[in-house]
Structure 1
């Protein structure tokens, strides 16, 4: 049992080391492909945040710099996750005229991952990304402190990475440091689709079928008793090689199938997130439209009320004007001479019997009309019949 457990642990370690080696090789290979596609794209247009080649390259570089990155041990013994910016900030602090301090003091970038993404963009615009990575890798003590064994930056692939990034200095980049690409809440996802080539043609299919037929025929022939002997031993190597080739093709197809299934799962998750966000936006739009409708109804009601008040003000002004005209028409002494007084009294005596004047006289009995009449009577310019009778030097006619 002990030997069995030891053998299982050894096989498990071998599988882990093999998977880590395959992962490192794949990341470096995909990074080389992404740099090549960036250089090809730059021949026709300027590279910015909207270019899918750059988005993929930034995700690949972030995955490489985050490969087997150690976590930060807190006071309580727990390990909190780290970003590659923590390593770059320390390892590139001695680079002359670096952009580390300016990125550290950016106001619109708060998280560590967002600062690392901003550093990638600024270094590409400065055409110094290879210089920063080379300076960081030379500080082996700091690199060893931040990364575990088996990391890309601790292996031979690191020198290849610095050489690949040197070709990006010939590209003119233009980035906005306030866009959605600096959002540190979303992980970096690599799209392997542009680098997969399914070049299986009819010739390859026929060759595979031929190999399978030969394998089957060889197996059937070997099962017969007359073919047992030296001819089978002579064809054993060719049979083994054919079997190996078929096995390799099968594993390659299986790996591509697994990747495509993972890609479909990722796209389904993104689609579900987009559908939920779309529902929230529709609900927000409905609430906004309802609020606008209520505000419109309130404004219409206020407008109607203001129009009614304006009409009432016009009617009150007209009534006050009529009242002032009636007061002037009922004034008994409008002139100081005798003719004027007799004419005014004659007009008033001629109009006293009309019903309209009686109605107006009723309206003059209000407090305001009474005050106006008393003020007219108290004026020294108006003369009453009693004063004419009692004034010296005048005799009644």
Structure 2
């Protein structure tokens, strides 16, 4: 029993999800389709005079675009909106902040427009007058992080491929001149935008088909075998006035197409100029990369040579330390022995000056006597003098040997380290 209830609940939840997904899909299709019709209506409405706020076609288009930009918009309130209602203007303000020479800052500084919804409507009008509405929307769509994470839920038009179709539709509006007043009632931001679907739901009878009256007449006449229809066909153009109307409409369409052609040609020239600039910058960057590559290779060779030289010095140093450590140890031991012996010698003999340490002075000063003031020592005996001289000669010999070994080690150091 419980498993059946669970399955029923799961089935109902799945059905609800499918219904919700279908409703979102239908909303997207309806808005994109009615937007296409609205753009076509504006192009047909435009002659030579600019379109202003009084045009019903523009009012409907503005409402449709507002619904598209607000489709599945996250949240109804924002701490940074003055009116407490979060509208698509918050998204446009952030996503289009990097557009060059944009109107975002100008709209923010308009005094009589305070609400977020009113600023969004003012942006639509200013972008149309600048003929840059498609550029703004394209730039906003490229900022996917802002679009997907902060402002729109899943299934929104701005997150789907329909958004690319929307930018293509808006390009055609660049051929129309718009003139708006940014102080009108349409910018109050209090009244919601309502779409009028009736202009796009009218059924227009084509000239190729019979009218309802003729259709009934043909059905009635088919009951009698002798009846013959009065008009075997309905002419495409009935009178001269229809010809002039059709000619006038064709002329208007030609003007619109010609204006669109001029705009697209100008757009192509602009893109070609931008492409040339990008190619020039690309060549410059490639040359810079090649230069840096050559410089890096040269520095790499220099560093490799330095590493080899350091390795050679290290190998010499290892060889020197391995072969001369024992010699240095012997020299240090002998030096310590000499110092100890010399200190013992000095403790036994006291000299007035360092000149008495010379062996020549010791050997040639047989008649010299120590001063009687130093504890009354007697003069040196000849045997004592001879022993001291031998000790001094022994010390001087090993001192010269240590000096020679030290000079040899210094020469080895100079040969290793230039």
* Structure 2 length-normalised TM: 0.46
Greater Rg over alpha carbons, structure? 2
Structure 1 length-normalised TM: 0.49
